Amino acid sequence: MYIIPAIDIIDGKCVRLTQGDYAQKKVYNENPLEVAKEFEAAGLKHLHLVDLDGAKSGHIVNHKVLESIAKNTSLIVDFGGGVKTDEDIQLAFNSGAAQITGGSIAVKNPQIFESWIKKHGDKIILGADVKDEKIATNGWLEDSGIDLWNFLSDYVAKGIKYTVCTDISKDGALQGTATELYKKMILKFPALNVIASGGVTTLQDLHDLQNAGCYGAIVGKAIYEQRIQLKDLNIFA
Alpha helices in the chain (DSSP H): 32-41, 52-57, 63-72, 86-94, 104-108, 110-120, 148-157, 179-188, 203-212, 221-224
For residue 47, the cross-strand partners are: 77
Q: Give me the catalytic one of 8, 78, 88, 205.
A: 8
| Distance of alpha carbon 120 from alpha carbon 101, whole angstroms | 12
| Distance of alpha carbon 134 from alpha carbon 14, whole angstroms | 28
In this structure, how many other beta carbons lie within 10 angstroms of the beta carbon of residue 86?
12
- What one-letter code names the amino acid at 214? C
| Distance of alpha carbon 182 from alpha carbon 215, whole angstroms | 10
| Distance of alpha carbon 44 from alpha carbon 42, whole angstroms | 6
What is the enclosing helix (H) or strand (E) of 79? strand 76-80
Q: Give me the catalytic one of 53, 129, 167, 208.
A: 129
For residue 147, the cross-strand partners are: 134
Is 8 one of the annotated active-site residues of the chain?
Answer: yes
Is 171 one of the annotated active-site residues of the chain?
Answer: no
Using the 8-state DSSP alphabet, how is residue 97 labeled? Answer: -
Which residues are designated catalytic?
8, 129
